[in-house]
Protein backbone atom coordinates (compact mmCIF):
# COMPACT_ATOMS: atom_id res chain seq x y z
CA UNK A 1 0.00 0.00 0.00
CA UNK A 2 2.83 2.42 0.80
CA UNK A 3 4.45 1.59 -2.53
CA UNK A 4 1.23 2.16 -4.46
CA UNK A 5 0.65 5.45 -2.64
CA UNK A 6 4.19 6.60 -3.38
CA UNK A 7 3.69 5.81 -7.07
CA UNK A 8 0.36 7.61 -7.10
CA UNK A 9 1.88 10.68 -5.42
CA UNK A 10 4.78 10.69 -7.88
CA UNK A 11 2.47 10.56 -10.91
CA UNK A 12 0.16 13.20 -9.42
CA UNK A 13 3.01 15.65 -8.82
CA UNK A 14 4.41 14.89 -12.28
CA UNK A 15 1.00 15.55 -13.81
CA UNK A 16 0.75 18.92 -12.07
CA UNK A 17 4.25 19.96 -13.10
CA UNK A 18 3.77 18.74 -16.66
CA UNK A 19 0.87 21.15 -16.94
CA UNK A 20 3.35 23.92 -16.08
CA UNK A 21 6.07 22.63 -18.44
CA UNK A 22 4.33 20.76 -21.31
CA UNK A 23 1.83 17.90 -21.14
CA UNK A 24 4.18 15.88 -23.37
CA UNK A 25 6.87 16.08 -20.66
CA UNK A 26 4.83 13.99 -18.20
CA UNK A 27 6.44 10.61 -17.47
CA UNK A 28 3.70 8.38 -18.89
CA UNK A 29 3.44 10.32 -22.15
CA UNK A 30 7.24 10.60 -22.46
CA UNK A 31 7.90 6.93 -21.77
CA UNK A 32 4.99 6.01 -24.04
CA UNK A 33 6.36 8.17 -26.85
CA UNK A 34 9.85 6.73 -26.41
CA UNK A 35 8.32 3.25 -26.49
CA UNK A 36 6.44 4.02 -29.71
CA UNK A 37 9.64 5.23 -31.35
CA UNK A 38 11.43 2.03 -30.37
CA UNK A 39 8.61 -0.38 -31.17
CA UNK A 40 9.56 -2.76 -33.99
CA UNK A 41 7.42 -2.24 -37.08
CA UNK A 42 5.82 -5.68 -36.70
CA UNK A 43 4.69 -4.96 -33.13
CA UNK A 44 3.37 -1.54 -34.14
CA UNK A 45 1.40 -3.20 -36.92
CA UNK A 46 0.04 -5.77 -34.52
CA UNK A 47 -1.01 -3.04 -32.08
CA UNK A 48 -2.80 -1.09 -34.83
CA UNK A 49 -4.51 -4.29 -35.96
CA UNK A 50 -5.57 -5.40 -32.47
CA UNK A 51 -6.41 -2.10 -30.86
CA UNK A 52 -7.00 0.21 -33.82
CA UNK A 53 -7.32 3.81 -32.80
CA UNK A 54 -7.39 2.71 -29.13
CA UNK A 55 -3.73 1.69 -29.38
CA UNK A 56 -2.61 4.79 -27.48
CA UNK A 57 -5.03 4.20 -24.62
CA UNK A 58 -3.89 0.60 -24.37
CA UNK A 59 -0.24 1.67 -24.30
CA UNK A 60 -0.76 4.28 -21.58
CA UNK A 61 -2.90 1.92 -19.48
CA UNK A 62 -0.17 -0.70 -19.85
CA UNK A 63 2.51 1.72 -18.66
CA UNK A 64 0.42 2.70 -15.64
CA UNK A 65 -0.28 -0.96 -14.81
CA UNK A 66 3.43 -1.82 -14.96
CA UNK A 67 4.28 1.22 -12.83
CA UNK A 68 1.67 0.24 -10.24
CA UNK A 69 3.10 -3.26 -10.03
CA UNK A 70 6.66 -2.03 -9.65
CA UNK A 71 5.56 0.52 -7.06
CA UNK A 72 4.05 -2.26 -4.95
CA UNK A 73 7.29 -4.22 -5.25
CA UNK A 74 9.26 -1.16 -4.11
CA UNK A 75 6.84 -0.82 -1.19
CA UNK A 76 7.64 -4.37 -0.14
CA UNK A 77 11.36 -3.71 -0.48
CA UNK A 78 10.99 -0.58 1.66
CA UNK A 79 9.57 -2.62 4.54
CA UNK A 80 13.06 -3.95 5.13
CA UNK A 81 15.25 -1.44 3.34
CA UNK A 82 13.71 2.00 3.44
CA UNK A 83 16.54 3.68 1.57
CA UNK A 84 16.61 1.10 -1.20
CA UNK A 85 12.86 1.40 -1.76
CA UNK A 86 13.07 5.18 -1.92
CA UNK A 87 16.07 5.01 -4.24
CA UNK A 88 14.05 2.72 -6.52
CA UNK A 89 11.37 5.38 -6.86
CA UNK A 90 14.06 7.95 -7.70
CA UNK A 91 15.43 5.62 -10.36
CA UNK A 92 12.05 5.55 -12.10
CA UNK A 93 12.06 9.33 -11.99
CA UNK A 94 15.40 9.37 -13.76
CA UNK A 95 14.08 6.99 -16.45
CA UNK A 96 11.06 9.24 -16.99
CA UNK A 97 13.28 12.32 -17.12
CA UNK A 98 15.62 10.72 -19.66
CA UNK A 99 12.65 9.72 -21.82
CA UNK A 100 11.20 13.23 -21.62
CA UNK A 101 14.40 15.05 -22.51
CA UNK A 102 15.27 12.69 -25.36
CA UNK A 103 11.94 13.15 -27.17
CA UNK A 104 12.35 14.88 -30.55
CA UNK A 105 9.96 17.63 -29.46
CA UNK A 106 11.68 18.16 -26.12
CA UNK A 107 12.25 21.81 -25.33
CA UNK A 108 15.18 21.17 -23.04
CA UNK A 109 16.10 20.17 -19.51
CA UNK A 110 12.87 21.56 -18.03
CA UNK A 111 11.19 18.50 -19.52
CA UNK A 112 12.98 16.44 -16.84
CA UNK A 113 11.27 18.40 -14.09
CA UNK A 114 7.89 16.60 -13.88
CA UNK A 115 9.46 13.13 -13.60
CA UNK A 116 12.20 14.18 -11.19
CA UNK A 117 10.01 16.23 -8.87
CA UNK A 118 7.37 13.52 -8.88
CA UNK A 119 9.99 10.91 -8.01
CA UNK A 120 11.43 13.00 -5.16
CA UNK A 121 7.97 13.39 -3.62
CA UNK A 122 7.20 9.70 -4.16
CA UNK A 123 10.52 8.58 -2.68
CA UNK A 124 10.10 10.82 0.36
CA UNK A 125 6.58 9.56 0.91
CA UNK A 126 7.67 5.94 0.69
CA UNK A 127 10.46 6.63 3.17
CA UNK A 128 8.04 8.22 5.64
CA UNK A 129 5.34 5.58 5.25
CA UNK A 130 7.81 2.72 5.59
CA UNK A 131 9.11 4.41 8.75
CA UNK A 132 5.62 4.29 10.23
CA UNK A 133 5.64 0.57 9.57
CA UNK A 134 8.97 -0.01 11.28
CA UNK A 135 8.82 -2.49 14.10
CA UNK A 136 9.51 -1.22 17.56
CA UNK A 137 9.95 -3.41 20.60
CA UNK A 138 6.69 -3.24 22.48
CA UNK A 139 6.85 -2.36 26.14
CA UNK A 140 5.86 -5.61 27.82
CA UNK A 141 3.63 -3.94 30.40
CA UNK A 142 1.59 -2.15 27.73
CA UNK A 143 0.77 -5.13 25.57
CA UNK A 144 0.99 -7.73 28.19
CA UNK A 145 2.90 -9.89 25.75
CA UNK A 146 6.28 -9.78 24.14
CA UNK A 147 6.21 -8.57 20.57
CA UNK A 148 6.32 -5.66 18.21
CA UNK A 149 4.29 -2.54 17.87
CA UNK A 150 3.35 -1.03 14.54
CA UNK A 151 2.58 2.62 14.42
CA UNK A 152 -0.73 1.72 12.87
CA UNK A 153 -2.48 4.97 13.63
CA UNK A 154 0.50 7.00 12.41
CA UNK A 155 0.61 4.99 9.19
CA UNK A 156 -3.09 5.31 8.48
CA UNK A 157 -3.08 9.05 9.13
CA UNK A 158 -0.06 9.60 6.87
CA UNK A 159 -1.40 7.27 4.18
CA UNK A 160 -4.83 8.86 4.11
CA UNK A 161 -3.36 12.34 4.01
CA UNK A 162 -0.99 11.34 1.19
CA UNK A 163 -3.78 9.72 -0.83
CA UNK A 164 -6.01 12.77 -0.46
CA UNK A 165 -3.23 15.19 -1.31
CA UNK A 166 -2.20 13.14 -4.35
CA UNK A 167 -5.76 12.94 -5.62
CA UNK A 168 -6.09 16.71 -5.26
CA UNK A 169 -2.76 17.48 -6.90
CA UNK A 170 -3.43 14.98 -9.70
CA UNK A 171 -6.89 16.38 -10.37
CA UNK A 172 -5.49 19.90 -10.46
CA UNK A 173 -2.81 18.80 -12.93
CA UNK A 174 -5.41 17.07 -15.12
CA UNK A 175 -7.58 20.18 -15.11
CA UNK A 176 -4.64 22.44 -16.01
CA UNK A 177 -3.53 20.06 -18.77
CA UNK A 178 -7.07 19.88 -20.13
CA UNK A 179 -7.35 23.65 -20.24
CA UNK A 180 -4.02 24.04 -22.01
CA UNK A 181 -4.19 25.02 -25.60
CA UNK A 182 -7.04 27.45 -24.97
CA UNK A 183 -5.28 29.96 -27.19
CA UNK A 184 -5.05 27.33 -29.93
CA UNK A 185 -8.74 26.47 -29.58
CA UNK A 186 -9.62 30.17 -29.72
CA UNK A 187 -7.43 30.65 -32.79
CA UNK A 188 -9.25 27.78 -34.51
CA UNK A 189 -12.65 29.15 -33.62
CA UNK A 190 -11.64 32.53 -35.03
CA UNK A 191 -10.89 31.15 -38.49
CA UNK A 192 -13.28 31.75 -41.34
CA UNK A 193 -12.12 29.83 -44.38
CA UNK A 194 -12.67 31.99 -47.47
CA UNK A 195 -14.46 30.49 -50.46
CA UNK A 196 -11.85 28.68 -52.56
CA UNK A 197 -10.80 30.39 -55.78
CA UNK A 198 -10.80 26.95 -57.35
CA UNK A 199 -13.66 24.94 -55.85
CA UNK A 200 -13.84 21.16 -56.10
CA UNK A 201 -16.03 19.97 -58.93
CA UNK A 202 -19.40 18.84 -57.64
CA UNK A 203 -19.42 15.14 -56.82
CA UNK A 204 -21.35 13.54 -59.70
CA UNK A 205 -24.73 12.19 -58.61
CA UNK A 206 -23.80 8.78 -59.89
CA UNK A 207 -20.76 8.64 -57.61
CA UNK A 208 -22.91 7.67 -54.63
CA UNK A 209 -25.08 4.68 -55.43
CA UNK A 210 -27.74 4.15 -52.79
CA UNK A 211 -26.61 0.81 -51.43
CA UNK A 212 -27.16 0.21 -47.72
CA UNK A 213 -23.95 -0.71 -45.92
CA UNK A 214 -21.50 0.95 -48.33
CA UNK A 215 -18.99 3.49 -46.95
CA UNK A 216 -20.25 7.04 -47.43
CA UNK A 217 -18.51 8.67 -50.41
CA UNK A 218 -17.25 11.54 -48.25
CA UNK A 219 -16.06 10.20 -44.92
CA UNK A 220 -17.57 12.30 -42.12
CA UNK A 221 -14.72 14.02 -40.28
CA UNK A 222 -15.68 12.35 -36.99
CA UNK A 223 -15.35 8.90 -38.61
CA UNK A 224 -12.12 9.67 -40.47
CA UNK A 225 -9.36 7.30 -39.42
CA UNK A 226 -6.54 8.71 -37.35
CA UNK A 227 -3.02 7.32 -37.39
CA UNK A 228 -0.11 9.11 -35.73
CA UNK A 229 2.46 8.73 -32.97
CA UNK A 230 1.17 11.62 -30.84
CA UNK A 231 0.05 10.54 -27.35
CA UNK A 232 -1.03 14.12 -26.72
CA UNK A 233 -2.70 15.76 -29.72
CA UNK A 234 -0.65 18.90 -30.45
CA UNK A 235 -2.63 22.10 -29.96
CA UNK A 236 -0.98 24.68 -32.12
CA UNK A 237 -2.02 28.33 -32.09
CA UNK A 238 -2.68 29.34 -35.69
CA UNK A 239 -1.88 32.98 -34.88
CA UNK A 240 1.70 32.22 -33.88
CA UNK A 241 2.18 29.21 -36.21
CA UNK A 242 4.89 29.55 -38.85
CA UNK A 243 6.06 27.32 -41.68
CA UNK A 244 9.69 27.60 -42.68
CA UNK A 245 10.85 26.47 -46.12
CA UNK A 246 14.56 25.99 -46.61
CA UNK A 247 17.26 23.62 -47.79
CA UNK A 248 19.00 22.48 -50.96
CA UNK A 249 18.16 24.53 -54.00
CA UNK A 250 15.91 26.93 -52.09
CA UNK A 251 16.95 30.23 -53.65
CA UNK A 252 14.60 32.25 -51.47
CA UNK A 253 13.98 30.87 -47.98
CA UNK A 254 10.57 31.77 -46.65
CA UNK A 255 8.62 31.67 -43.44
CA UNK A 256 4.87 31.70 -43.90
CA UNK A 257 2.17 32.50 -41.39
CA UNK A 258 -1.38 31.20 -41.41
CA UNK A 259 -2.56 34.62 -42.59
CA UNK A 260 -0.05 34.41 -45.47
CA UNK A 261 -1.65 31.15 -46.55
CA UNK A 262 -5.18 32.51 -46.26
CA UNK A 263 -4.23 35.39 -48.57
CA UNK A 264 -3.15 32.97 -51.28
CA UNK A 265 -5.36 31.35 -53.88
CA UNK A 266 -7.15 28.53 -52.11
CA UNK A 267 -8.04 25.35 -53.94
CA UNK A 268 -10.53 22.75 -52.84
CA UNK A 269 -10.11 19.10 -53.79
CA UNK A 270 -11.56 15.70 -52.97
CA UNK A 271 -8.69 13.39 -52.07
CA UNK A 272 -8.77 9.89 -50.61
CA UNK A 273 -6.12 9.31 -47.96
CA UNK A 274 -4.77 5.85 -47.16
CA UNK A 275 -2.46 4.55 -44.46
CA UNK A 276 0.32 2.14 -45.35
CA UNK A 277 -0.67 0.15 -42.25
CA UNK A 278 -4.06 -0.61 -43.76
CA UNK A 279 -4.48 -4.37 -44.10
CA UNK A 280 -6.36 -5.72 -47.10
CA UNK A 281 -10.00 -4.97 -46.27
CA UNK A 282 -8.96 -2.63 -43.44
CA UNK A 283 -10.42 0.67 -42.23
CA UNK A 284 -7.49 3.10 -42.61
CA UNK A 285 -8.72 4.80 -45.73
CA UNK A 286 -10.98 7.83 -45.93
CA UNK A 287 -12.14 10.41 -48.43
CA UNK A 288 -12.41 14.08 -47.58
CA UNK A 289 -12.83 17.46 -49.23
CA UNK A 290 -9.67 19.42 -48.49
CA UNK A 291 -9.05 23.15 -48.81
CA UNK A 292 -5.52 24.44 -49.07
CA UNK A 293 -2.85 26.10 -51.11
CA UNK A 294 -0.91 24.46 -53.87
CA UNK A 295 2.38 23.33 -52.37
CA UNK A 296 4.10 23.35 -55.78
CA UNK A 297 3.38 27.07 -56.20
CA UNK A 298 4.84 27.89 -52.80
CA UNK A 299 7.95 25.84 -53.59
CA UNK A 300 8.31 27.46 -57.00
CA UNK A 301 8.21 30.91 -55.37
CA UNK A 302 11.07 29.79 -53.17
CA UNK A 303 13.01 28.96 -56.31
CA UNK A 304 12.70 25.17 -55.96
CA UNK A 305 13.08 23.17 -59.17
CA UNK A 306 12.13 19.48 -59.19
CA UNK A 307 14.95 17.06 -60.04
CA UNK A 308 13.28 16.29 -63.38
CA UNK A 309 14.05 19.91 -64.30
CA UNK A 310 17.54 19.82 -62.85
CA UNK A 311 16.84 20.77 -59.22
CA UNK A 312 19.34 19.46 -56.66
CA UNK A 313 16.82 18.17 -54.08
CA UNK A 314 14.76 15.05 -54.72
CA UNK A 315 13.28 14.70 -51.23
CA UNK A 316 11.01 17.12 -49.40
CA UNK A 317 11.18 16.50 -45.66
CA UNK A 318 8.25 17.87 -43.67
CA UNK A 319 8.68 18.27 -39.90
CA UNK A 320 5.85 18.59 -37.44
CA UNK A 321 5.70 20.36 -34.10
CA UNK A 322 5.85 16.95 -32.41
CA UNK A 323 9.06 15.97 -34.14
CA UNK A 324 7.64 13.70 -36.84
CA UNK A 325 9.56 13.73 -40.13
CA UNK A 326 7.93 12.71 -43.40
CA UNK A 327 9.77 12.50 -46.72
CA UNK A 328 8.07 13.02 -50.09
CA UNK A 329 9.53 12.91 -53.61
CA UNK A 330 9.85 16.50 -54.88
CA UNK A 331 8.96 15.31 -58.37
CA UNK A 332 5.61 13.99 -57.13
CA UNK A 333 4.77 17.22 -55.32
CA UNK A 334 5.64 19.33 -58.39
CA UNK A 335 4.30 17.16 -61.23
CA UNK A 336 1.00 19.01 -61.45
CA UNK A 337 -1.03 16.91 -59.04
CA UNK A 338 -2.98 18.70 -56.32
CA UNK A 339 -0.40 18.44 -53.55
CA UNK A 340 -1.74 20.67 -50.80
CA UNK A 341 -0.78 22.53 -47.72
CA UNK A 342 -4.25 21.84 -46.38
CA UNK A 343 -5.99 24.24 -43.98
CA UNK A 344 -9.47 22.77 -44.09
CA UNK A 345 -11.22 19.41 -44.13
CA UNK A 346 -14.87 18.91 -45.12
CA UNK A 347 -15.63 22.62 -44.94
CA UNK A 348 -14.01 23.40 -41.59
CA UNK A 349 -10.56 24.27 -40.33
CA UNK A 350 -8.60 21.04 -39.76
CA UNK A 351 -9.53 19.30 -36.52
CA UNK A 352 -6.63 19.22 -34.04
CA UNK A 353 -6.36 15.44 -34.44
CA UNK A 354 -5.99 15.83 -38.20
CA UNK A 355 -3.20 18.38 -38.12
CA UNK A 356 -4.49 21.85 -37.25
CA UNK A 357 -3.54 24.40 -38.38
CA UNK A 358 -1.83 23.03 -41.49
CA UNK A 359 -0.97 19.63 -42.89
CA UNK A 360 0.21 18.21 -46.17
CA UNK A 361 -1.98 16.09 -48.44
CA UNK A 362 -0.54 14.58 -51.63
CA UNK A 363 -2.80 12.49 -53.87
CA UNK A 364 -1.46 9.03 -54.62
CA UNK A 365 1.02 8.58 -51.76
CA UNK A 366 0.51 6.80 -48.44
CA UNK A 367 0.15 9.13 -45.47
CA UNK A 368 3.52 8.30 -43.93
CA UNK A 369 5.34 9.63 -47.01
CA UNK A 370 3.14 12.64 -47.69
CA UNK A 371 0.54 13.76 -45.18
CA UNK A 372 2.52 15.47 -42.39
CA UNK A 373 0.13 16.86 -39.76
CA UNK A 374 0.96 19.88 -37.54
CA UNK A 375 3.63 20.77 -40.11
CA UNK A 376 6.07 23.57 -39.21
CA UNK A 377 9.10 23.04 -41.40
CA UNK A 378 9.86 21.95 -44.96
CA UNK A 379 13.41 21.10 -45.86
CA UNK A 380 14.54 20.31 -49.38
CA UNK A 381 17.17 17.59 -49.32
CA UNK A 382 17.99 14.28 -50.99
CA UNK A 383 16.94 10.69 -50.30
CA UNK A 384 20.65 9.85 -49.89
CA UNK A 385 21.22 12.53 -47.30
CA UNK A 386 18.30 11.95 -44.97
CA UNK A 387 16.08 9.12 -43.72
CA UNK A 388 12.85 10.36 -42.15
CA UNK A 389 11.11 8.74 -39.15
CA UNK A 390 9.45 5.74 -40.78
CA UNK A 391 12.29 5.01 -43.16
CA UNK A 392 14.59 4.66 -40.14
CA UNK A 393 12.08 2.05 -38.99
CA UNK A 394 12.35 -0.10 -42.13
CA UNK A 395 9.47 1.33 -44.14
CA UNK A 396 10.09 2.16 -47.79
CA UNK A 397 11.38 5.63 -48.65
CA UNK A 398 8.91 5.94 -51.52
CA UNK A 399 5.44 4.50 -51.34
CA UNK A 400 2.76 5.16 -53.94
CA UNK A 401 -0.63 3.81 -52.88
CA UNK A 402 -1.35 0.31 -54.18
CA UNK A 403 -4.48 -0.41 -56.17
CA UNK A 404 -6.98 -1.84 -53.69
CA UNK A 405 -10.62 -2.67 -53.24
CA UNK A 406 -12.77 -3.52 -50.24
CA UNK A 407 -16.09 -5.27 -49.71
CA UNK A 408 -18.15 -3.13 -47.30
CA UNK A 409 -21.29 -5.22 -47.47
CA UNK A 410 -22.14 -7.99 -46.72
CA UNK A 411 -20.03 -8.13 -43.57
CA UNK A 412 -17.89 -11.19 -42.83
CA UNK A 413 -20.01 -14.10 -41.56
CA UNK A 414 -23.24 -12.32 -42.45
CA UNK A 415 -26.28 -14.54 -43.04
CA UNK A 416 -28.19 -12.98 -45.94
CA UNK A 417 -31.35 -14.57 -47.36
CA UNK A 418 -31.16 -16.40 -50.68
CA UNK A 419 -32.08 -14.22 -53.64
CA UNK A 420 -30.51 -10.97 -54.80
CA UNK A 421 -27.88 -9.76 -52.31
CA UNK A 422 -26.11 -6.46 -52.94
CA UNK A 423 -22.35 -6.85 -52.68
CA UNK A 424 -20.77 -3.39 -52.54
CA UNK A 425 -17.75 -1.45 -51.44
CA UNK A 426 -15.00 0.93 -52.47
CA UNK A 427 -11.93 0.71 -54.69
CA UNK A 428 -8.99 3.08 -54.86
CA UNK A 429 -5.86 3.74 -56.89
CA UNK A 430 -5.28 7.40 -56.15
CA UNK A 431 -3.93 9.53 -58.97
CA UNK A 432 -4.21 6.65 -61.41
CA UNK A 433 -7.94 6.12 -61.14
CA UNK A 434 -10.07 2.97 -61.03
CA UNK A 435 -11.39 1.59 -64.34
CA UNK A 436 -12.97 -1.68 -63.35
CA UNK A 437 -14.05 -3.72 -60.36
CA UNK A 438 -14.83 -7.42 -60.54
CA UNK A 439 -16.39 -9.80 -58.07
CA UNK A 440 -15.97 -13.53 -57.86
CA UNK A 441 -18.18 -15.96 -55.98
CA UNK A 442 -16.24 -18.95 -54.68
CA UNK A 443 -14.08 -20.22 -57.55
CA UNK A 444 -16.45 -18.95 -60.23
CA UNK A 445 -15.63 -16.53 -63.05
CA UNK A 446 -14.80 -12.88 -62.39
CA UNK A 447 -17.86 -10.77 -63.07
CA UNK A 448 -17.85 -7.04 -63.66
CA UNK A 449 -19.40 -4.96 -60.89
CA UNK A 450 -21.36 -1.75 -61.46
CA UNK A 451 -18.87 1.05 -61.03
CA UNK A 452 -20.24 4.30 -59.62
CA UNK A 453 -19.29 7.48 -61.46
CA UNK A 454 -15.80 8.79 -60.84
CA UNK A 455 -15.38 11.99 -58.84
CA UNK A 456 -11.69 12.43 -59.65
CA UNK A 457 -8.86 10.00 -60.13
CA UNK A 458 -7.60 11.05 -56.70
CA UNK A 459 -10.70 9.68 -54.98
CA UNK A 460 -11.98 6.22 -54.34
CA UNK A 461 -14.83 4.81 -56.39
CA UNK A 462 -17.82 2.96 -55.09
CA UNK A 463 -19.02 -0.23 -56.74
CA UNK A 464 -21.85 -2.68 -56.33
CA UNK A 465 -22.78 -6.09 -57.63
CA UNK A 466 -26.24 -7.66 -57.43
CA UNK A 467 -25.48 -11.24 -56.51
CA UNK A 468 -28.00 -14.04 -57.06
CA UNK A 469 -27.17 -15.73 -53.82
CA UNK A 470 -27.85 -19.44 -53.42
CA UNK A 471 -28.09 -21.26 -50.11
CA UNK A 472 -24.95 -22.35 -48.37
CA UNK A 473 -21.51 -20.98 -47.53
CA UNK A 474 -19.85 -18.70 -50.08
CA UNK A 475 -16.67 -16.70 -50.42
CA UNK A 476 -16.92 -13.33 -52.14
CA UNK A 477 -13.74 -11.82 -53.52
CA UNK A 478 -13.14 -8.44 -55.16
CA UNK A 479 -10.41 -7.07 -57.41
CA UNK A 480 -9.92 -3.71 -59.07
CA UNK A 481 -8.16 -2.64 -62.25
CA UNK A 482 -6.57 0.79 -62.35
CA UNK A 483 -6.25 3.13 -65.32
CA UNK A 484 -2.78 1.90 -66.15
CA UNK A 485 -4.48 -1.43 -66.86
CA UNK A 486 -2.91 -3.11 -63.85
CA UNK A 487 -5.13 -5.66 -62.15
CA UNK A 488 -4.97 -5.70 -58.36
CA UNK A 489 -2.62 -8.53 -57.54
CA UNK A 490 -3.64 -11.68 -55.70
CA UNK A 491 -0.19 -11.84 -54.14
CA UNK A 492 -0.55 -11.22 -50.41
CA UNK A 493 2.11 -9.08 -48.79
CA UNK A 494 2.39 -7.62 -45.35
CA UNK A 495 1.93 -3.90 -44.81
CA UNK A 496 5.68 -3.52 -44.24
CA UNK A 497 7.58 -2.09 -46.10
CA UNK A 498 5.35 -0.38 -48.66
CA UNK A 499 1.71 -1.37 -48.13
CA UNK A 500 -0.35 -4.56 -48.17
CA UNK A 501 -1.25 -6.17 -51.47
CA UNK A 502 -3.71 -8.98 -52.08
CA UNK A 503 -7.46 -9.27 -52.52
CA UNK A 504 -10.22 -8.80 -49.98
CA UNK A 505 -12.67 -11.62 -49.52
CA UNK A 506 -15.62 -12.14 -47.24
CA UNK A 507 -17.20 -15.42 -46.20
CA UNK A 508 -20.99 -15.48 -45.79
CA UNK A 509 -23.65 -18.09 -45.19
CA UNK A 510 -26.78 -17.69 -47.28
CA UNK A 511 -29.93 -18.93 -45.49
Ligand X SMILES: Nc1nc2c(c(=O)[nH]1)N[C@H]1C(S)=C(S)[C@@H](COP(=O)(O)O)O[C@H]1N2
Residues that bind ligand X (CB under 6 A): 224-229, 273, 275, 320, 322, 324, 354, 367-368, 371-374
Q: Which is nearer to ligand X, 373 or 479 (CB)?
A: 373
Cβ contact 152:159 at 8 Å:
no
Least distance to ligand X, CB of residue 399, Å: 10
Least distance to ligand X, CB of residue 154, Å: 50
Q: Which one of Mo ion, ligand X, none is in contact with 322 (Cβ closer than 5 to 8 A by kind)?
A: ligand X
Instruction: For the beta carbon of residue 342, count every other beta carbon within 10 angstroms.
Output: 28
Cβ contact 272:459 at 8 Å:
yes
Least distance to ligand X, CB of residue 93, Å: 28
Q: Which of residues 295-354 bind Mo ion (CB under 5 A)?
A: none
367 near Mo ion (CB under 5 A): yes
Residue 362 CB partners (closer than 8 Å, separation 6+): 295, 328, 332, 333, 337, 339, 340, 370, 371
Distance CA 123, CA 134 (A): 16
Q: Which is nearer to ligand X, 151 or 398 (CB)?
A: 398
Q: Which one of ligand X, Mo ion, none is in contact with 250 (Cβ closer than 5 to 8 A by kind)?
A: none
What long-range pairs does 199-206 form, CB within 8 A, spacing at least 24?
Answer: 199/268, 200/268, 200/269, 200/270, 200/289, 201/455, 201/456, 203/270, 203/455, 204/453, 204/454, 204/455, 205/453, 206/452, 206/453
Cis amide leading into 497 (omega within 30): yes
Q: Which one of Mo ion, ligand X, none is in contact with 226 (Cβ closer than 5 to 8 A by kind)?
A: ligand X
Cis amide leading into 251 (omega within 30): no
Q: Which one of Mo ion, ligand X, none is in contact with 225 (Cβ closer than 5 to 8 A by kind)?
A: ligand X
Q: Of residues 225, 368, 390, 428, which one binds Mo ion by CB under 5 A?
A: 368
| Span from 182-190, 272-280, 442-450, 465-473 in contact with Mo ion (CB under 5 A) | 272-280
275 near Mo ion (CB under 5 A): yes
Q: Of residues 227, 296, 326, 350, which one binds Mo ion by CB under 5 A?
A: 227
Distance CA 406, CA 478 (A): 7
Q: Which is nearer to Mo ion, 170 or 329 (CB)?
A: 329
Concatenated DSSP letters for 159-185? HHHHHHHHHHHHHHHHHHHHHTTHHHH
Phi-psi region of 364 (alpha: psi -120 to 50; beta: other; left: phi over 0): left
Residue with smallest beta-carbon separation from ligand X: 367
| Span from 247-255, 361-369, 383-391, 478-486 in contact with Mo ion (CB under 5 A) | 361-369
Least distance to Mo ion, CB of residue 369, Å: 9
Q: Which is nearer to Mo ion, 187 or 277 (CB)?
A: 277
Least distance to Mo ion, CB of residue 284, Å: 7
**What end-to-end distance do the CA atoms of the chain give, in Å?**
58
Q: Which one of ligand X, Mo ion, none is in contact with 374 (Cβ closer than 5 to 8 A by kind)?
A: ligand X
Contacting residues toward Mo ion, per CB under 5 A: 227, 275-276, 367-368
Amino acid sequence: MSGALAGFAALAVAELLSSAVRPEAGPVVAVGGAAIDRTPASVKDWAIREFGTDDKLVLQSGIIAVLALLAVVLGLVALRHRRVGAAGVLLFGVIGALAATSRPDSTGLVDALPSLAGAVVGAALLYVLAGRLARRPAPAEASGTEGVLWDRRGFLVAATAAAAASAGVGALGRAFNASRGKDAIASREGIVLPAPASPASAVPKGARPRVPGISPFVTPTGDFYRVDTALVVPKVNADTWRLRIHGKGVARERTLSFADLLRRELIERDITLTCVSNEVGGPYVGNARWIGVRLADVLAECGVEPPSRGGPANQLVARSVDGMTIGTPVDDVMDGRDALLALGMNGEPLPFAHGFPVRMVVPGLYGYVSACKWIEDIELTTFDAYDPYWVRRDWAAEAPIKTQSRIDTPKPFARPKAGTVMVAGVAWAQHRGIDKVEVRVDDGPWRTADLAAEDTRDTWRQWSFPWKATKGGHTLTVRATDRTGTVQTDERTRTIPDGASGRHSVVVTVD
